[in-house]
Copies of this chain bind each other. A is one copy, B any other.
Amino acid sequence: MSGSEAHGAAPGTSLDEQGLIERHFRPLATAPGAFSLLDDAASYAPPPGADLVLTKDGIAEGIHFLPGEDAGVIARKALRVNLSDLAAKGATPVGYLVLLGLSDDWSEDWVARFADGLASDQDRYGATLYGGDTIRSGRFIVTITAFGIAASGGIVRRAGARAGDHVYVSGTIGDGALGLLVAQNDPRLASLDESHRAHLAARYHLPEPRVALAESVARFATAALDVSDGLVGDLDKLCTVSGVTARVTAADVPLSQAAGAAVKIDPALLPICLTGGDDYEIICTVPPEKASDFEASASSAAIPVRKIAEVTQNGGRAEFVDSAGLEMDFGNRSFSHVGSHARSHAASHDRGTYSGR
């Protein structure tokens, strides 16, 4: 690397990024405050009484996605993990800023497909591009800061769950973890129906953030977070920071038909579903007197939710019990019936995100 490369401004090492912007990114910057990406910064005027909600996450080639992954999928995944955070906080998405780090073998076509991925998800989730930066970074890296709004003081935190609250989870748990096993051609899933295998792989490949559930969370939940590091670990985080305990019967955790079929083939896959991460579902706690209203609100948003526990006491942990009523221990991915709880596993499992994924 020459000094002028370190400087980043030598002719010939340029990305012609102005051209890339004009051709691919400017069409995404539809908000007036994005200034058509022609300025140093963007402007956003929040509605009176609204709080900003901000989150930032990044994904890197070779760590969070495989080399050769489709650029559009990378873009959408990077955006979606951020939108999932906003949804879990009860926030309505507004916009995002994206840093695209290009590997040395980047191509215009790659950038075009990347922008197309953002474009399709902008339409889907209602957030537009407010700015960003494109740099060379050796390998592909995408970092996104997404922002949304919540009513003043209305952000739903991880802290806030109270004894008596019902614990809900959206959608189904474990598909992402099993989808990774499918992608790895794990022999335990070799005999699974092809349609089930495809379902699991798709859910691992590209998460579906529960943006549509944000309003229900905002209106009814006392605490919430999104399930990115596994139900066990993430529920444990909510309980720890809220200072409450939730006791979940594993059989009550909603599984997809595909995951259910996999667990029927090999029951040892159940703890993988519960701890494996990449679900991007929402856990939230709702006071019992609001439970039916929350369920109705989620239903009208077409998001399935299931009650999996009640917050039974103070204490600060999540407990999972099997069909025999014995507490499950997920330490070191092993599955056994001993007295320890999930927190040590959750900690070792953490993806390394703060105010993030």
A interface residue numbers (CB < 8 A to B)? 1, 3-9, 11, 14-18, 20-21, 25, 29, 33-35, 37-46, 48, 51-67, 85-86, 88-89, 91, 97-99, 101, 130-139, 141, 143, 145, 147, 150, 152-153, 155, 157-159, 180, 183-184, 225-226, 229-230, 241, 276-278, 332-333, 347-357
Contact = CB atoms under 8 A, between A and B. Distances in A.
Contact of A133 (B7, B58, B67): B58
Contacts of A354: 17-18, 21, 25, 37-38, 131-134
A139 B183 CA distance: 27
A145 B44 CA distance: 14
A40 B355 contact: yes
Contacts of A54: 41-44, 97, 130-131, 145, 147
Nearest to A5: B63
A355 B56 contact: no
A39 B131 contact: no
Nearest to A22: B354
B348 A40 contact: no
Contact of A62 (B6, B62, B241, B353): B6
- A interface secondary structure, majority: mixed
B277 A7 contact: yes
Given A46-B46, A63-B8, A354-B17, A40 B332 contact: no
Contacts of A35: 157, 159, 355
Nearest to A241: B38
Contacts of A184: 3-4
A135 B347 contact: no
Contact of A43 (B101, B143, B155): B155
Contact of A141 (B9, B38, B137, B351): B137
Contacts of A34: 355
A103 to B, nearest CB: 10
B62 A133 contact: no
A158 B348 CA distance: 48
A93 to B, nearest CB: 11
A8 to B, nearest CB: 5
Given A147-B54, A159-B38, A348-B14, A60 B332 contact: no
Contact of A14 (B64, B98, B226, B349): B349
